Structure formats: structure tokens, C-alpha cells
Amino acid sequence: MRRFILSRILQAILVMLAVSVIVFFLGRLSGDPTDILLPHDASEESHERLRDHLGLDEPLHVQYWIFLTDTLQGDFGESVKSQRPVMELVKEKWPATLELTGAAIFISLLIALPVGVYSAVRRGGFFDFLARLLAVFGQSIPSFWLGIMLIYIFAVPQFGWAIFPTHGRGEDGLWDHIHHLILPAFTMGWYLSAGIMRLTRSSMLEVLDSDYVKLARIKGVPEYKVIWKHGFKNAALPVLTYSVMIFALVLGGTVITEMVFAWPGMGRMVVDAVYARDFPVVQTTVLLLSAVFVFANLLVDILYSYLNPKIRIAR
Amino acid sequence: MFRIGINKLALIRKFPVNPGIPLLIVLLCIVMAIFAPYIAPESPTKQSLPNQFQEPGYVDKDGTKHYLGTDKFGRDNLSRIIYGARISLVVAVLTIIIAAFIGTLLGLVAGYYGGWVDSLLMRITDVGLALPLILVALVLAVVYGAELIADLIPINVVLVIGLLLWPRFARQIRGETLAIKEQDYIALARVAGCSPMRIMIKHIFPNVIPTLLVLCTLNVGYVILLEASLSFLGVGVPPETPTWGLMVSDGKGVIATYWWISLFPGLAIMFLVLSLNFFGDWVRDKLDPKLRQV
Amino acid sequence: MSALLDVQNLKTYYFARRGVVKAVDGVSFSIDQGETLGLVGESGCGKTMTCHSILKLLPKPGGRIVEGQVLFEGEDLVLKTERQMRRIRGAKISMILQDSMTSLNPAYTIENQVGEVFAIHQKLKGRALKEKVIEALKLVKIPAAETRLRAFPHQMSGGMRQRVAGAIALGAKPSLIIADEPTTALDVTIQAQYLNLLKEIQAETGVAMMFVTHDLGVVARMCDKVAVMYAGRIVEKAEMKDLFRHPRHPYTIGLLACLPKMDAELDKLVSIPGQPPDLGALPDGCHFAPRCPECMEICKQKYPEERLARDEHYVSCWLVEK
């Protein structure tokens, strides 16, 4: 058990090291970073000075080492555009993105779990048919378009029911906050719920076919308890795993939704940064999102081995 | 045996996927893409200031009817959608080819050799999976600019998506290879003195083809969504290019008054991806019983 | 005295898109209080579907009882609602499944799973519930039962797990237990132990048993009566000793010939040629006709009715004179 966790941690560190190499080179992609960092008409002199300042005269591996040690010490550099430490910017934007992602996952679980479970229970029936149709639609509608259409339907006075705000995060207390959150969260959640639903359905199908569910029925256990106590608890593990991974994965996917709804989060910040060639900000964001993903994976693996007694013993 | 018999029969009651209509829509898109110059009523880039923001069905002074209206430069939406199919499909096909090729190669090698080769390659796929795909694509596309080869292939978008997508293929192919490796006929081939190369190509690869096909069809839709998302963000293609994502983006700011600009290209994406997904489900049901239900 | 369980002309079909599978096609038998009936047949002959029909737990969608009666303590279970059936399942009729590895829920402790029966049917809670669980575990002779309460199924050996399955089935003191090949998943040495245990418990509690198996050796050891099933129908039923001594149906004769005997030459293992028919496309006439060594013209045309061959010995075969 301990060996398993240790080896997984080691793997995660290796992956993160590789990611850091890639991120480092992301900043060197266009050859001379000073071309990016300085205005077009800057003198050769100021190029030279900046190169010196950034340590670009050093060999690449030394530069990488400096980058790595700085990063590990929490020094992510300064934004080229605003001259502020990147970490400060991230700390400012991070909560908004986290909030949006969390709400999206919450909405998708709210839709996907019951629908997935009952779709499996009524396998082959009309409800199942509808649910699966919905799932295919969920995975086929581009979220940026869905967002715009939701704005058109619910947020502009076209139909006389502009009941939701079109952009921003809302400043007037909790209700205003939630009010602003609903459309973007639904836009993201719609896509996510399709995957979660399909997974819930398929793992429920497997579990419902099992002998222990049969035995529960033989014992005279009421049907809702058969489904939720005996069935769902065993089917939930892969769904839980998937949701945690999705959470990490989707953090990167908020970009689109944040652009559509002008949500003041990391996604918008990084798109602006990419266009402004503000590489320290971009690098930090990519690094952070990868780290969250790797960490989430690690967490899931460890959680999995704790939650599933069978694996715990086997290890 | 009867117990198995029942399960088999139960599986027959699966989703009544009829591949006919989805396939028809996909074929329609392909035809649209190939014969765009003959089908489209106008050039997709022809601007006309008096025709700005006209509603669907508008007939301009020259007597041309704009079935899906016009955009802010007076360009014909229908023509742009027809031409837009080109970029979407070209990107989808090329990307899938790149990802499938790299993924299959590395998946086969990792699965066959196992040991440290496997560990190394799987860690590399971990890295590929860990990177936030859209962001990296965004960065690369911005750095390398929007280059369009032969007015058709946004080469940077293709390379970026292809390079970021292969881990999905590698994972699955590796798993499959691991299972096939244990089969008796592989042991037999080894005893017969086949080289690892030959075993991989002649004996294992043909057996992963169904999985590969399923992966390809299931990922095409995803790639098209991804391409549309990138071009929605204005990345990888010159701004005047007719792509569906860009068109939706064009209409975003004026959605309250000129709804048709965003609506129709979005519907085009949806119907194509929907058809591909239905078709993918059908292919999976036909070819790979193991992946069924998922 | 009327029988505890009296199944009459039971027909359970499975309706699939490709057609109707006649899994149970007119089966009748009865079990008295405290008696053991062996239901014998090859896998796929409809044995398991018969068991599930009695509990009305049929594969959904598609499985349905289309005809017949299942009289339990004089009441027809076929007419009962799902809610009424739930009160019978686990309390009055229970079942031991083949493989406890898969039939016990991996996510819950032994205490939870055994206790569920009492929680549902006797509405017990807390200490009383725990005592009942220990009592049930002791009934199936699980050593140091108190210490096993918090164990998960995978932490126990196959034999112990199957005893837990027994505790679940027997805990609420049902009057009928259906045991569906309860020993096939066990090691041979453990099998005998388990069968003895079931017999002891039966002597102790007077529970009736329906023993489903393909193993005639087990039948000889456990049962008072035997019913031989082939392709959805019962072809022969009799007292156990009578059936072993005077088998009448060629299928039964074939099955008995398959049993290795001590005195026979070892290299002469007999088997019945051919395969059992597809239950979705049964032949006209006797289902066994294609494999029968004594097949006659009439066998291919008409299914033989059940006849009384001698006292309490019924056979469905044209060879048996009326």
C-alpha cells in the first residue's frame, strides 16, 4: 500500500518535471524571448540589457535550472504587461474559475447521476432512449455556441424574458453571484453531464447484472435500496474518479465559457496574455493547470485504493 | 448456455442506432466541402457594404437571394458555411491521421515490449494528457501564426491538435496490445522466430484495427469541436477565413439583433458532430463489443 | 397435508426481439414441509429460470410468467404484487446462489449484509440486530462469529463466504430454501463439508429445500425427491431411490450412465451425444428426440404427455406405456 502510493507520487513528480521542461520551452518557442518582451522598435541595446537580465546568455540547461528553482520557490516571475508578480494575478483570478468549474460539475452531477442511474434501471425503455439521446446531444453541441444561444434566449430582451445577466460575475451579494453563475455553469455542465451520464449508466448496468444485486432482491430489499445502496455504491467509484479528473481537465476548458460570458477568471486572463505575448502569465497558468491535473490523478489513485477494500487488500 | 443466451439477447435491445441518416449528413458535408465552389451561391469572402447584416431570405440588388442572411461585411452566410465545411473536415481528417499514427506506433511498442519502454512511453502520454490542450494549442497557434496552406490547411492547428491528441490513442492501443500479446498465436509466432517488428505489424496490428477504427470515429467529432473552439477564439486561421467557429464568434457581439450570424454555423457544427457521434456509436457497436454500453 | 410449494404447469418465457425463448415450458412439481427436492439438468435447461420464477425475479425487460401457478403455503405467488413478494423473499423463501464471491456485495461488511434481512423483515435495530446476526452466523457454524462481523467478503475464504451466504438465506428462518448449485464454486473438500452443514441445519430447523444441480452425486446425497429437467420441461420425477434404481426416461438413463462407477472400467466414461436444443427454436415433438438412442417416429411429431410409470414416478416419454 505504502509502496504503491510512493511509486505513484514519484511518477507524478516525473510527469511534472517533464511538463516543466515543455513549459520552459514554450517560452523560448519564438527564438529570442526579448523579441516578445520588448516593443518592436526597441534598440539593440535594450535587447542586450534584457537578455542579460533574464540570463539568456547562459546555456539552456542553466536557464532551465534557474526557471525550475525559481518556480519551486514560488517565484513565477512578473507579468510583462502589468509588471505585477504573476502569482498575484493568479490569486486574483483563481477563485472565479474555481467557482465556475465547481458550479458546472455540481450541475452536471445533479443532472447526470439520477438520469444515468435510472437510465440503467430502465434499460431499453423510453426513458433510457431519451437519456441516451440527450447524452449524444451533450457531446455534440459546441459549448461556445450553446453559451451564445443561451444568452440570446435568456439574457437579451428578444423574447421579453431577459432573466439572466449576460456577463460578469456579479458583485451584489450571494444571490447576484448565483444569478450570474447559472448560465455559464449550465453551458459548461451540459457538456460534462453527457460523459458522466454515460459512465454512470454503463457502470450501473454492470452492477445491476451482478449476483449481489440479485441477492439483495432475493433478501426482499426494497427496490430503491437495491438501486442506491447495493447498486450505486458499487457503481459510484468510477464515476467519482471520472468527476475528479474532469474537474481538473475542465479547469483548462473554462477558457471558452469565460470568453463567452466575460467571466473574470483565469481563462480570460490567459487568452489575453497569449495575445499580448505575456509569456510568464501563460507559462504559469499552463504549469498550474497541469499540476492540478496530475495532483487530481494522484489523489484519485490514492482515494481509489482506500475506498475500494478489494484493491486495498490486493496491494 | 442459457445464462449467456439471455445476456446476449438482452444486448439486442440496445440503442436503435440507424446509421443511415447520420451517414447521409456526413456525406452531405463531404460533398459540400469538395464541391464548395460549384455549390456556394457566392464567394465566401466577397464583401458588400450595402448588404451588411441582412436577414435570412434577403434578396440583394443583383437578385441574389441570401438564404441564411449576411454578416457584418455583407458576405453570404450560406456560402461561408459551405466553404467552412472544408476547413473542419480537412482538419479533422489530418489530425486523426497524425494522432492515430503516432498513437498506434507508440501504443504497440509500449504494449509489446513492456518493462521500462512501456513505463517511459506511458509517462510521456501522461505528460501529453496533463497539458491543458486548448491552452497549449492557443499558445502554439499564436506563436507560429495563422498559416493556411493552399487556402485550406491551417497547418499549425492540424499539427497542434494531432500532437496533443495521440495519447488518447496510445493508451487504448497499448491496453489492447497487452491483451493480444498473451494469445497463443503470438507465442507461436515468437517460437517460429518472427522478429518483434514483424510480430507487431503482421500479428498484432491487424487485431487492433477494429479498436483503432472505433477510436478514430469516436474522436472525429471531438476534433471538429476542438477546431471550432480554436477558431472561435480566433486562433490558427486568418480572420477572413470562412470557418464555422469564426462565424459563430463574429455573431457573438451582435446576437441580440442579428441572431442568424451565430445560429446557422453553430447548427452546422452540431449536426455534423452529432452525426459523427451517432455513426461512431454505431461503428463501436458493430466492431467492438468490449466498448459497448460505455 | 397439502404441499408447502406446489408448482403447476409453470410457463416462463423470455421475450426478445428475435423471438420467444421458452425457458420454462409447463413445469409442475411439489415440495412438502422439510423435504428436499433435487432439480437436475444440464446448464441452460431452465433450472435457474424456474427458481427465479418462484421468487418472481425475472430478467427485465422481457422475462414473464405466462401461465401456471406457484402455490406457496396455499397461496398463488403468481398473483402477488411486487410489494407482497418482497415480504416473502428472504423471510419465507430464500435462496443460496452459486458463487459467494460475486453474490456478496464487496462494499459492505458481513454484519451489514446479514443484518439487512432482519432489518427489513423483523424491523430490528442496534443491539438486537447484532445479536441476531451473530446467531445466524453461529447457525452456519462460522467460528468466532463475533470477530467476523466487521469483515468484508473478500477477506474470507470461499467456504466461509458461502456459509455467510447460507446465513443470509437461513437467518430469518424461512420455510423454503432454494439452493442453486451452492457448491459448484467450492473446492471438492469443502463441498462435502458444506453439504453436511446444510443437512444438519435442515434437521435442526425443518426447512424445505429445493436443490438445483447438475451433479447426480449431490442429489443422491441430499434429496428425497428428484425432478429431471430437459429443455424447459420436466421429463421425469420420482422418489430419489426409485429414480436411481429404475430410471425410465432415456435422458435420465443417459445422465446416470455418465456417473463414474466404482466397479466400471475407468476408460469407459459415457456421455450423451449431441447438444441440448436452443430454447428459442425448439423442435416439434419430444425435445430430447434428436439425441435419443431409442427415438421413434412419433417422438419427432408429438411431445409425450406425462404418464405415471409406477407409484409417484412420472415420465414424459413415448416408451412408457399408459
A87 close contact with B: CB closer than 8 A: no
Query: What DSSP element (H or E) covers B135?
Result: helix B133-144
Angle, CA of C223, C229 and C232, to the nearest 5°: 145
C-alpha pair distances (Å), C152 with each of A203, B53, B207, C160: 21, 69, 40, 12
pLDDT exceeds 80 at position C68: yes
C91 contacts A220 by C-beta, under 8 angstroms = yes
Beta bridge partners of C237: C227, C314
Peptide bond into B239 cis (omega under 30): no
Average pLDDT, rounded, for chain C? 84
- What pLDDT is stored for residue A313 in this prediction? 40
Classify burial at B64, counting beta carbons within 10 Å of its beta carbon; exposed 0-12, middle 13-18, buried 19 or more.
Answer: middle
* Cβ neighbours of B15 in C, within 8 Å: none
Q: What is the pLDDT of residue A114?
A: 92
Mutate to test the interface with A, among C48, C94, C116, C178 (most CBs of A within 10 A): C116
- Name the residue range of residue A250's domain: 86-307
Whether residue A311 is predicted with pLDDT greater than 60 in this model: the reply is no
Q: Is B81 exposed, middle or buried (0-12, 13-18, 19+ CB in 10 A)?
A: buried
Q: What is the rounded distance in angstroms from the CA atom of residue A262 to the CA atom of residue A144?
A: 12
For C150-199, the DSSP string reads T--GGGS-HHHHHHHHHHHHHTT--SEEEEESTTTTS-HHHHHHHHHHHH
| C-alpha–C-alpha distance, residues B249 and B229, integer Å | 9
Chain B residue numbers with beta carbons less than 8 Å from the beta carbon of A260 are 252
How many other C-beta atoms are found inside a 10 Å radius of the C-beta of residue C284? 10
Residue C301 dihedral angles phi and psi, to the nearest 5°: -105, -35
If one compares A34 and C41, the residue with the highest pLDDT of the two is C41
* Confidence class for position B12, pLDDT limits 50, 70, 90: very low
Residues of C with CB under 8 A from a CB of A: 55, 57, 61, 82, 86-91, 94-95, 97-99, 102-108, 116-117, 120-121, 152, 154-155, 165, 168-169
Give the integer Cα–Cα distance in Å for A4 and B114. Answer: 19
Q: Using CA atoms, how far apart are residues C90 and B90, in angstroms rounded to an integer?
A: 62
pLDDT of residue B13: 39
Higher pLDDT, B23 or B288: B23
Residue of C22, C18, C8, C38 whose CA lies nearest to C252: C38
Instruction: Decide if C212 contacts C47 (C-beta within 8 A).
Output: yes
Q: What is the pLDDT of residues A103-161, one digit of tens each?
A: 998 999 999 999 999 998 888 788 888 888 888 888 888 888 888 888 888 877 766 67
Residues B135/B255, Cβ–Cβ less than 8 Å = no
CB contact under 8 A, B255 and A152: yes
Q: What is the pLDDT of residues B173-230, one digit of tens each?
A: 888 888 887 777 877 877 777 777 888 888 788 888 888 888 888 788 888 888 888 8
Under DSSP, is residue B54 helix (H, G, I), strand (E, B) or coil?
Answer: coil
pLDDT, residue B97, reads 93
For residue B77, pLDDT beyond 80: no
pLDDT band per the 50, 70, 90 thresholds, residue C322: low
Cα torsion through A9, A14, A19, A24, rounded to 10: 130
C90 CB burial (10 A radius; 0-12, 13-18, 19+): buried
Q: What pLDDT shows up at residue A28?
A: 73
User: How many angstroms separate the CA of residue C126 from the nearest CA in chain B?
Assistant: 39
Check C103 against A211: CB less than 8 A apart.
yes
Residue-wise pLDDT tens digits, C269-290? 567 777 777 777 777 788 887 7
Beta-carbon separation of A145 and B259 below 8 A: no
Count A/C contacts: CB-CB distance under 8 Å: 77
Instruction: Decide if C108 contacts A310 (C-beta within 8 A).
Output: no
Q: What is the mean pLDDT of residues A251-277?
A: 83
Note whether residue A8 is domain-resident.
Answer: no
pLDDT of B5 > 80? The answer is no
Q: Which residue of C has its CA nearest to B1?
A: C44
Instruction: Give the number of other Cβ atoms within 10 Å of residue B202's Cβ.
Output: 12
Q: Does ipTM come in above 0.90?
A: no
Residue B131 has pLDDT above 50, yes or no: yes
Instruction: Compute how many other C-beta atoms are within 10 angstroms of the C-beta atom of residue B150.
Output: 7
Rounded to whole angstroms, the Cα distance separating C90 from C167 reads 11
pLDDT band at C265 (very low <50, low <70, confident <90, very high): low
Residue type, A116: G
pLDDT digit string, tens, across residues A56-110: 777 778 888 888 888 888 777 777 777 788 888 888 888 888 888 889 989 999 9
Range with the poorest average pLDDT among A140-144, A153-157, B290-294, C295-299 = B290-294
**C chain contacts of residue A210, beta-carbon cutoff 8 Å:** 102
Q: Does C153 touch chain B (CB under 8 A)?
A: no
Which amino acid makes up residue C83?
R
> What average pLDDT does range B100-117 have in this prediction?
88
pLDDT at residue B169 greater than cutoff 90: no
| Alpha-carbon distance values, A51 to A76, A114, B110, B167 (Å) | 18, 58, 42, 36
Name which of A239-248, C159-168, C239-248 the model is least confident about: A239-248
A167 occurs within a structural domain:
yes
A159: in domain: yes
Contacts of A151 in chain B (CB under 8 A): 255
Pick the residue from chain B with its C-alpha nearest to C232: B2
Q: Count of CB contacts below 8 A, B vs C?
A: 37
Provide mean pLDDT across the span A161-189: 80
Which residues of chain A neighbour B12 with C-beta distances below 8 Å? none
**Helices and strands (H, E) in chain A, number of each type:** 14, 0
B21 contacts in chain A (CB < 8 Å): none
A149 within 8 A of B263, measured Cβ to Cβ = yes
d(CA B169, CA C69): 56
Residue C70 sits at the vertex; the CA angle it makes with C65 and C74, to the nearest 5 degrees, is 150
The mean pLDDT of C242-254, rounded to a whole number, is 85
Domain contains A1: no
C45 in reach of chain B (CB within 8 A): yes
pTM of the model: 0.80
Q: In CATH, what number is assigned to the domain containing residue A168?
A: 1.10.3720.10
Candidate from C17, C46, C61 with C-beta closest to B2: C46
**In chain A, what residues touch B251 (CB-CB under 8 Å)?**
148
Percent of chain A with pLDDT over 90: 3
Which one, of B222, B181, B218, B176, lies nearest residue B203 by Cα? B181
> Out of C16, C23, C43, whose CB is closest to B12?
C16
Q: Cβ contacts (< 8 Å) between B281 and chain A: which residues?
A: 136
On whether the CB atoms of residues A159 and A165 are closer than 8 A, the answer is no
User: What local confidence, expressed as pLDDT, does residue B6 receive?
Assistant: 34
DSSP A298-313: HHHHHHHHHH-HHHHH
H-helix segments, chain C: 47-55, 82-88, 100-103, 110-121, 126-139, 145-148, 158-170, 188-205, 216-222, 240-245, 250-258
Among A219, A223, A309, beta carbon nearest to C116 = A219
- Checking if the pLDDT of B171 tops 80, the result is yes
Neighbours of chain C (3+ CB pairs under 8 A): A, B
Q: Are B126 and A286 a contacting pair at CB < 8 A?
A: no
Contact check, Cβ <8 Å, A222/C86: yes
Q: CA C111 from chain center: how many Å?
A: 27
What whole-number distance in Å separates Cα of residue A17 and Cα of residue B87?
36
CB-based contacts of A173, cutoff 8 Å, min separation 6: none
Check B13 against C17: CB less than 8 A apart. yes
* Residues facing residue C12 across a β-bridge: C24, C65
- The dihedrals phi and psi of A187, each to the nearest 5 degrees, come to -55, -45
Query: What is the SS3 assignment for A76?
Result: coil
Other C-beta atoms closer than 10 Å to the C-beta of B195 total: 11
Binary contact (A212, C105; C-beta < 8 A): yes
Name the residue with cell 503516432: B102
Confidence of residue B7 (pLDDT cuts 50, 70, 90): very low
Using CA atoms, how far apart are residues B106 and B112, in angstroms rounded to an integer?
10
Distance CA B154, CA B236 (A): 6
Chain A residues whose beta carbon lies within 8 Å of the beta carbon of residue C112:
none
Domain contains A62: no
* Average pLDDT of the residues in A3-29: 84
CA A101 – CA A97 distance, rounded (Å) = 6
Residue C54 has pLDDT above 60, yes or no: yes
Per the listing, cell 515468437 goes with B190
Question: Does residue A110 fall inside a structural domain?
Answer: yes
Beta-carbon contacts of residue C236 (< 8 Å; ≥ 6 apart): C227, C228, C243, C247, C248, C249, C251, C252, C313, C314, C315, C316, C317
**pLDDT higher at C17 or C12:** C12
**Rounded Cα gap, residues B165 and B99, in angstroms:** 6
| pLDDT tens track for B226-244 | 888 888 887 777 777 788 8
Instruction: Tell whether A268 is covered by a domain.
Output: yes
Q: Does A148 sit within 8 Å of B262, measured CB to CB?
A: yes
| Neighbour count for residue B58 (Cβ, 10 Å) | 16
Given pLDDT bands bounded at 50, 70 and 90, which one contains residue B290?
Answer: low
What was the pLDDT predicted at B102? 92
A43 lies in a domain?
Answer: no
Specify the number of domains making up chain A.
Answer: 1
Question: What is the mean pLDDT of the segment spanning A195-217?
Answer: 88
pLDDT at B292: 41
More confident residue, C269 or C227: C227
In this predicted structure, what is the pLDDT of residue C261? 62
Which amino acid appears at position C61 of this protein? Answer: P
Backbone angles phi, psi at C315, to 5 degrees: -140, 140
Q: Give the per-residue pLDDT at A308.
A: 61
DSSP string, C97-140: -S-HHHHS-TTS-HHHHHHHHHHHHS---HHHHHHHHHHHHHHT
Closest CA to A268 of A8, A276, C139: A276
Residues of C whose CB is below 8 A from B5: 21, 44, 278-280
Q: With a cut of 70, say whether residue C263 has pLDDT above it.
A: no
> Phi, psi at residue C28, to the nearest 5°?
-130, 135
- Average pLDDT of the residues in C24-28: 87
Nearest to B9 among C14, C43, C45 (CB): C14
Which segment of B9-23, C117-131, C169-183 scores lowest on mean pLDDT? B9-23
A210, A223, A309 member nearest C152 (Cβ): A309
